[in-house]
Structure 1
Amino acid sequence: MSKAFSAIGEEREVERDEFTPGLEPQPTWCPGCGDFGVLKALKGAMAELGKDPEEVLLCTGIGCSGKLNSYFESYGFHTIHGRSLPVARASKLANHDLEVVAAGGDGDGYGIGGNHFMHTARENHDITYIVFNNEVFGLTKGQTSPTSPKGHKSKTQPHGSAKDPIRPLSMSLSAGASYIARTAAVNPNQAQEILVEAIEHDGFSHVDFLTQCPTWNKDAKQYVPYVDVQDSEDYEFDVQDRREAADMMAETEEALYDGTVLTGRYYKDENRHSYQQEKQERGDMPNEPLAERYFDDDYDWERSADFIDRHK
């Protein structure tokens, strides 16, 4: 059977510009927005990995980050608020040959989509999740978000937020993500390197991407200066040791609100099977992509009743 997705598996040199769409090539984000850094790093990472645009699916949520797939040439799905992950999960299970990336903001991903985030990490789906973390709701003009620091004043919290911010790296580790990193738009080289690693990783990769919002979050400034924890002699820990990673994450998340920006790789588990691998080992999923069956005229379709009968 010939493959329906002809670009998948093709080995060739890929240029960054191939991921720039012809219809809407120029992003409309505010000048100085950190989202430009995510777009540049993602284009560079896909080109470095030799991915064809037709091999990639980018699922986004709502907010400034939701425009990412409008400015990125690939298959795309613009979901509703907080729902990029379930669409990305289903797409990867239907066609595991696709390189699936999900993206959302800190409000989108850690707020309304927090439940999906937790369970996608727990199940270790083989997708990459980029969270644009600017500590506010940017598109709706600066309301307090789950990562806004305690005391942060906004239209929704005029006297300052009374709540402690969530700790996304620690939350990701406790939920079960097998690759966890933090980078920043002001560190483009590190950002691309981390996205390459995250995309290559077999399992759920979570990248907390600090993206400054110069329009609605003046407090966060530009997330500079930053420190790469892998390059600094002040921070030594084993990214494969869960306890050491947890301690480093806690230090990183506390330091951010004290004005020290720490970035880098924090945790990596290469031995854990992805959800897809677990299902295939149990015989619950075929090895060939389910999506291919829609293009196979010889396939004998199964009915839901056939599955129900097996459990009687």
Structure 2
Amino acid sequence: MSAFNAIGEDREVDRDEFTPGIEPQPTWCPGCGDFGVLKALKGAMAEVGRSPEETLVCTGIGCSGKLNSYFDSYGFHTIHGRVLPVARAAKLANDGLEVVAAGGDGDGYGIGGNHFVHTARENHDMTYIVFNNEIFGLTKGQTSPTSPKGHKSKTQPGGSAKNPLRPLSLSLTAGSSYVARTAAVNPNQAKEILVEAMEHDGFAHIDFLTQCPTWNKDARQYVPYIDVQESDDYDFDVTDRREAQEMMYETEDALNEDKVLTGRYFVDEDRPSYQEEKQAIGEMPDEPLAERYMDDEYDWDAERSYDLLDRHT
């Protein structure tokens, strides 16, 4: 039995368990897409069967960083761009946790872009939700990595001279083993994709389109949307990297032409996660490392492969 006795508990979980007992008043603006992420995540977590005690939500800085204030589970509010290193460490220490990382497009694709690339490359077993509203919202409307070319903002008053970053294509190239895009205006699809992402063994990246009616009034509200799995106009194999890459490129072009495509784009169920790779070469124990810290009788001296040096004076 795990020292963390809530982990692995087999019981019915209700979505309302993830609503704080004293619910704080959200400071997201009316009409913000972040409400859709919160709703979808509560529903998905209950469907997966994870309790609040089995769940850790790590967030970055920005409007998205408030997610774990309104979602009742373990939470860690990190500094700007550093949500993934914290989430990775938590998952490596306690593999039984359901770890969800969340951040905005500026936090994840800009300031934390290096961590995004290498977390995907290593295929850490977690779900990464990027709230993509094509703007820096909390800091009042600056151009972000996903802002379309020509978009005018406080930092680019003449219009952005740069093409937007392609998050789906970048994710696939970096090595994510599950890549999807959904939107806050499509709550049913969003919940289904979140369930799949959490059940996936490996790094699952979700580009979550979240409208910002306050600081990005020129942006699309991501409606109407087209589900690429439901539409007869799109036919590709999500397990084929080349076909997925072509569909992602078309999706990213379409968004800049006021056409919103969403759905699952790439799924690799055969690739081992980082944890499994480390265990296979004997560099990570099968039992959660965190349990050792709960064991008062654990012999830490036997674990060391070096002798401690005397303190330098």
Task: Settle same-fold status: TM greater than 0.5.
Answer: yes
Alignment partner of 1:57: what SS? strand
Which residue matches 1:26? 25
Paired residues of 1:37 and 1:186 also in contact (CA < 8 A): yes
Counterpart position of 2:311: none
Deviation at 1:206, TM superposition (A): 0.1
Q: Secondary structure at the match of 1:59?
A: strand
SS in 1 for 2:271: coil
CA distance in 1 between counterparts of 2:307 and 2:136 reads 45
In the alignment, the residues of structure 2 paired with residue 226 and residue 177 of structure 1 have an alpha-carbon distance, to the nearest angstrom, of 24
1:169–1:180: 8 Å Cα contact kept in structure 2? yes
**1:299 CA drift (Å):** 1.0
Cα distance in 1, alignment partners of residues 168 and 63 from structure 2? 22
2:31 maps to a residue whose letter is G
What pairs up with 1:103-252 in 2 under 5 angstroms? 103-252=102-251
Q: What does 1:266-277 correspond to in 2, within 5 Å?
A: 266-277=265-276
Contact 1:59 1:84 (C-alpha < 8 Å) held by counterparts: yes
How far did residue 25 of structure 1 move?
A: 3.9
Is 2:261 the counterpart of 1:280? Answer: no
Equivalent-residue separation in structure 1 for 2:301 and 2:275 (angstroms): 20
Q: Is the 8 A contact 1:60 1:102 kept in 2?
A: yes
Report the CA distance shift for 1:308/1:183 in structure 2 as closer, same or farther (over 3 A).
farther
Per-residue CA deviations over 1:82-137 (Å, capped at 9, x if unaligned) read: 00000000000000000000000000000000000000000000010000000000
Number of the residue aligned with 1:253: 252
C-alpha deviation, 1:221, in angstroms: 3.3
- Number of residue pairs aligned between Structure 1 and Structure 2: 308
Contact 2:122 2:175 in 1 (8 A): yes
Shift of 1:4: 2.5
SS at match of 1:182: strand
1:129-153 Cα offsets, whole Å, 9 max, x none, are 0000000000011100000000000
C-alpha separation in 1, matches of 2:307 and 2:137: 47
Distance across 2 between alignment mates of 1:54 and 1:21: 13
Displacement of 1:220: 1.6
The 1:117/1:302 distance shift into structure 2, 3 A limit, reads farther
Where do 5+ consecutive residues of structure 2 fail to align?
Answer: 309-313
Q: Deviations over 1:17-68 (max 9, x none)?
A: 1000123443220000000000000000000111110000000000000000
Amino acid at match of 1:247: E
Query: Partners in 2 of 1:303 and 1:147 — Cα distance?
Result: 50
SS at match of 1:92: helix
Structure 1 gaps, min length 5: none
In the alignment, the residues of structure 2 paired with residue 173 and residue 191 of structure 1 have an alpha-carbon distance, to the nearest angstrom, of: 20
In the alignment, the residues of structure 1 paired with residue 137 and residue 302 of structure 2 have an alpha-carbon distance, to the nearest angstrom, of 46
TM-score w.r.t. structure 2 length? Answer: 0.96
Contact 2:58 2:75 in 1 (8 A): yes
SS in 2 for 1:219: coil
* SS class of match (1:136): coil
Report if aligned partners of 2:44, 2:192 keep a CA contact under 8 Å in 1. Answer: yes
Post-superposition offset of 1:179: 0.1
1:264 lines up with 2:263 in the alignment: yes
Alpha-carbon distance between aligned partners in 2 of 1:88 and 1:186, rounded to the nearest angstrom = 27
Give the TM-score normalised by the residue count of structure 1: 0.97
User: Percent identity of the aligned residues?
Assistant: 80
- Report the Cα distance in structure 1 between the residues aligned to 2:234 and 2:133, rounded to whole angstroms: 25
Aligned-partner Cα distance in 2 for 1:263–1:302: 52
Q: Deviations over 1:171-218 (max 9, x none)?
A: 000000000000000000000000000000000000000000000101
